[in-house]
Amino acid sequence: MADKGGRGRLLFFPLPLQGHVTPMLQLAEIFYSKGFSITIIHTRYNSPNPSSYPNFTFLPISDGFSEKKTSELSIFALASILNVNCLDPFKDCLTDLLSGESKVHTTCLISDTVLHFTREVAESFKLPRFVLRTSGVGVFRAFAAIPLLREKGYLPIQASRLEEPVPELPPLRVKDLPVINVPNAEMFYQLIAGLVNEARTSSGVIFNSFEELEQSAVAAVRQEFPTPIFPVGPFHQYFPSASSSLVQPDETSISWLDKQAPKSVIYVSFGSIAAVKENEFLEIAWGLANCKHPFLWVIRPGSIHGSQWLESLPSGFLDMVGERGHIVKWAPQLEVLAHPAVGAFWTHNGWNSTLESICAGVPMICMPCFTDQFVIARYVTHVWKVGVQLDNGLERKTIVEVIRKLMDNEEGEEIRNRVVDFKEKANVSLRHGGSSHGTLENLISCISSS
Ligand code: UDX
């Protein structure tokens, strides 16, 4: 291993959302272990905790937000505003950083594909720019196809065509296309087009994925896309990492799991952004109550429309489930998934959660909520076949059926065996001779010669 910092300095700029900050910091740790010096440029909003990363330099820049304002924004509005507000502060930050440079040479910038403004600034400083795409390669391919899907009339989605296959993007159906129900669809399309363009104009696109998982999507993107792509994941498997959690996890999750039987628990969490309607929340609660399995349920404050936290739970629910259920505001998810008591993960299929579940060998109950999660859920259920989808509305009866199928049936056992196979493939990809191991070496050469 090279001396720490001896290979030059890398600048990282994450989008300030949990699902983006986590893989960016994990990637920074991977490069640190390979001898690079690490500087994290970040917004004040959702700032990472520097004390968890004593070897990194953290440079906060102004984002023009107050906490109150951001809580009222959709993630798409937030990303669009950051792309305007951060342009000048980022320029100033690079001016200071690069002009005062003497001891350590800055090799390149690695920014999130959603932060479009970083391209113009990096170009003005002639600083090579690689990008991190925090979701899967198959999702990226679907994003890149959005103009074509609009041209062919698949988008905007029509309710009468939901079940139709999309032959241009197998195995997706119209209902699996990566869109979101927002008032201004044009703004969403522009953000995604910008993301694809950021990737196209970069020196290389880094993915938190591995070839054995996304073989055909990787091959297709390599053929269709002019820019080199580097699937070097799963990042969190490289080494036990410092916590990149923006929220303090509730450790009672683990002491409660310690009391449960092996593979008996359903872990329920819908990531850091997704929210459900009150009637959906009630169906989830009754589904969990009626399925008779123990459950660990993450309910973030504000994740039920119109409620602060648990007020919408049916009266008497907590007494009825008693010790069989444990509810927390935020869990130490990697530890939870690695716990022997966990038998299934009921997830929204955010990319990080999906990858973490696969690497822990835990089968999934899929409940995608928006954008990339629809694509990911389709891959989970129909390509990798490591989960079952909650389809056609969220009803307590269907929930119980799906849980039983996964937890109590032979079909569930087959699904479990397949996910354990992928877990092993993920480990192999990181070892000497594995695909991610080799791709990381290529990426390092590419960065070092940029
Ligand atoms: C979002 C998108 O949904 C996702 O698809 C995209 O790729 C990144 O941005 P999010 O919805 O938060 O992210 O989901 P996910 O990608 O699964 O990331 C959530 C992260 O938070 C995971 O790393 C998970 O381990 C962590 N987490 C979640 C916790 O540590 N504790 C919890 O209780 C819940």
Ligand 1 atom with minimal separation from the 328 CA: 33
Comparing C-alpha atoms, which of 11, 188, 210, 3 is closest to residue 93? 11
121 C-alpha to center of ligand 1: Å? 29
Q: Are residues 194 and 258 in the same domain?
A: no
Ligand 1 atom with minimal separation from the 300 CA: 33
Residue nearest to atom 29 of ligand 1 (CA): 333
Q: Are residues 355 and 388 in the same domain?
A: yes
Q: Are residues 365 and 326 in the same domain?
A: yes
Instruction: Give the number of domains in the chain.
Output: 2
Instruction: Go through 117-133 and write b for each residue having 16 or more CB atoms within 10 A of its CB, e for each that does not.
Output: bbbebbeebebbbbbbb
Q: Are residues 173 and 322 in the same domain?
A: no
Angle between helices 75-85 and 87-99 (to 10 degrees): 50
Question: CA 382, CA 169: separation in Å to the nearest integer?
Answer: 13
272 lines ligand 1 (CB under 6 A): yes
112 lines ligand 1 (CB under 6 A): no
Do 153 and 146 touch, CB atoms closer than 8 A? no
21 C-alpha to center of ligand 1: Å? 10
Q: Report pLDDT for 183.
A: 82
Q: Are residues 384 and 440 in the same domain?
A: no
**Cα 416 from chain centroid?**
22
272 C-alpha to center of ligand 1: Å? 5
Ligand 1 atom with minimal separation from the 353 CA: 17
271 lines ligand 1 (CB under 6 A): yes
Question: In this structure, is residue 3 part of a structural domain?
Answer: no
Question: In this structure, is residue 153 part of a structural domain?
Answer: yes
- Residue 187: phi and psi, rounded to 5, are -65, -40
Question: In this structure, is residue 1 part of a structural domain?
Answer: no
372 lines ligand 1 (CB under 6 A): yes
Comparing C-alpha atoms, which of 368, 369, 370 is closest to residue 378? 368
46 lines ligand 1 (CB under 6 A): no
Q: Are residues 207 and 316 in the same domain?
A: no
Q: Are residues 224 and 263 in the same domain?
A: no
Q: Report pLDDT for 239.
A: 86
Question: CA 353, CA 360: separation in Å to the nearest integer?
Answer: 10
Q: Are residues 127 and 229 in the same domain?
A: yes
Q: Which two three-digit tokens encode residue 354?
A: 């999906």
Q: Are residues 422 and 440 in the same domain?
A: no
Per-residue DSSP letter, 247: S
287 lines ligand 1 (CB under 6 A): no
Q: Are residues 276 and 411 in the same domain?
A: yes
- Mutational test site, ligand 1, from 352, 357, 379, max ligand atoms within 8 Å of CB: 352
26 lines ligand 1 (CB under 6 A): no
245 lines ligand 1 (CB under 6 A): yes
330 lines ligand 1 (CB under 6 A): yes
347 C-alpha to center of ligand 1: Å? 10
Q: Which CATH number fits the domain that encloses residue 104?
A: 3.40.50.2000
Q: Report pLDDT for 255.
A: 98
Determine the length of the chain. Answer: 450
Q: pTM to 2 decimals?
A: 0.96
132 C-alpha to center of ligand 1: Å? 16
pLDDT tens, per residue, the chain with 450 residues: 445 668 899 999 999 999 999 999 999 999 999 999 999 999 999 999 999 999 999 999 999 887 666 767 788 888 989 999 999 999 999 999 988 765 568 999 999 999 999 999 999 999 999 999 999 999 999 999 999 999 999 999 999 999 999 999 999 999 999 998 888 889 899 999 999 999 999 999 999 999 999 999 999 999 999 999 999 999 999 987 778 889 999 999 999 999 999 999 999 999 999 999 999 999 999 999 999 999 999 999 999 999 999 999 998 999 999 999 999 999 999 999 999 999 999 999 999 999 999 999 999 999 999 999 999 999 999 999 999 999 777 999 999 999 999 999 999 999 999 999 999 999 999 999 999 999 999 999 999 998
Q: Are residues 195 and 342 in the same domain?
A: no
**Domain ranges, residue 105:** 9-243+433-448
Residue 219: count other Cβ atoms within 10 Å of its Cβ: 12
Largest Cα span, the chain: 66
Q: Report pLDDT for 101.
A: 62
